[in-house]
Amino acid sequence: MRFWDRVTEGLAVHQLWGQLEKDARSSYRLYSAGMDEREEGQSKGDRVWYVIRTLFWAIIEKLSPVRRVLVLLGLILVFFPSGGFTFDTGRNHLELREFDLHVFGALLIFLVLLLELADRVVMKRDLEIAKDIQAWLLPGAPLQIPGYGIAYATRPANTVAGDYYDVILRPGPTAGEDRILFVVADVAGKSIPAAMLMATFQASLRTLANSRAPLVEMVVDLNRYACSNSQGGARFTTAFLAELDPATGELAYVNAGHNVPILRRTSGTVERPQVGGIPIGVLEAASYELGTMRIDNGDWLVIFTDGVVEAVNSKGDEYGEEALIQVVNQSAATAPAESLKNILASLDSYVGNTPQHDDMTCLLLKRS
């Protein structure tokens, strides 16, 4: 029993099956990427053979050349029809030894598995370090603002994410009139490349936020710097940046090509702040427009990335903004932390064990 607990880390059978199902779907999506749809007139047998052949090469081509040779040799030996051979050794006597080629084929495949596992262990260790660094870059406990509640969370599709959120205390136009800067951003791409660009975005934003420059001017400078590192616009970032005056509830914002946030009034009506411009890092000469609104008592501001509303279930259907708004409405009387918990629970119930293709980030602001 102790052996089984050590192997499974205490997971129940249904939990193991859920992980297997999730891993299988994720792997199939990886290996089947680029597979053509079934052509008209193609028989079922031809289609099955096409899928097998395509998946085989998709797996083989992800190995290094020497490991491909070992796998192919191992498969040949495993399926060798004779199963083995004998030979004569010794000068004065006859000695017959039999070698089972199936065993040697299995050993070659097992050797490749060990080599791949070693690479995975090293990569996992590096990713865990990157994950810790990324967690250090993101804010910890929410900033305490009298009269307001804040909650936020992110769920990476892989070990590290390209989503970014932050809450920054920023100097106002005059001393003693500090502003609160809310930022939710989504870097194009996933995993390590997106995480590295996210770190660059965070560093430049933090530097620019320390100035007293107006919000639009700060976004223009942020875009100018991002364009110098965006590979000709290929590595762009969508972002929603909002600057709150906590004393009055006035909110100035710039929506740089990001998902339009949800502003739920205490009356139940929903407004969508979408004034801004194109994503950051696309065009160096881009201009941005400033939008304004007011956060009154009981109002909610929900800022999210596309990974939330585009989360899919086993049928491939997206979660959608309507479902998100519905959860926000149902949680209107609660605190932001409780509302965020309800949103995440709703997402979990919807997607089940279906692997997600994008990071999920959500930031909630409520004026009480």
Q: Each residue of 296-348: pLDDT tens digit?
A: 999 999 999 999 999 999 888 999 999 999 999 999 999 999 999 999 999 99
Q: What is the pLDDT of residue 335?
A: 94
198 and 307 assigned to the same domain: yes
155 and 120 assigned to the same domain: no
Burial class, 245, CB count within 10 angstroms (exposed 0-12 / middle 13-18 / buried 19+) = middle
- Residue ending a domain, among 79, 100, 132, is 132
Of 241 and 132, the structure prediction assigns the larger pLDDT to 241
Q: Give 137's contacts (C-beta < 8 A, 6+ positions apart).
A: 198, 199, 202
Do 364 and 150 meet the contact criterion of CB atoms below 8 Å apart? yes
190 and 325 assigned to the same domain: yes
258 and 155 assigned to the same domain: yes
| Mean pLDDT of the region 101-112 | 86
**pLDDT tens, position by position, 157-183:** 877 778 899 999 988 777 667 899 999
- Residue ending a domain, among 90, 112, 132, is 132
- Number of structural domains found in the chain: 2
| Mean pLDDT of the region 20-37 | 68
**How far is residue 35's CA from residue 315's CA, in Å, rounded to a whole number?**
19
**How far is residue 221's CA from residue 225's CA, in Å, rounded to a whole number?**
6
Any idea what the CATH number is for the domain that residue 313 is in? 3.60.40.10
| Residue 185: alpha-carbon gap to chain centroid | 13
- Residue ending a domain, among 132, 148, 170, is 132
What's 354's DSSP letter? Answer: P
Q: Confidence band (pLDDT; 50, 70, 90) for 197? A: confident
38 and 179 assigned to the same domain: no
What percentage of the chain carries pLDDT values higher than 70? 87
> E strand or H helix at 367, and its extent?
strand 360-367
43 and 70 assigned to the same domain: yes
pLDDT surpasses 80 at 192: no
pLDDT surpasses 70 at 96: no
185 and 118 assigned to the same domain: no
**Domain boundaries, position 74:** 2-132
183 and 301 assigned to the same domain: yes
112 and 66 assigned to the same domain: yes
- Mean of the per-residue pLDDT values for the chain? 84
150 and 118 assigned to the same domain: no
143 and 214 assigned to the same domain: yes
**How far is residue 182's CA from residue 212's CA, in Å, rounded to a whole number?**
16
Beta-sheet pairing, 148-155 with 360-367: antiparallel
Phi-psi label, residue 216: left if phi above 0, alpha if psi -120 to 50, beta otherwise = alpha
354 and 327 assigned to the same domain: yes
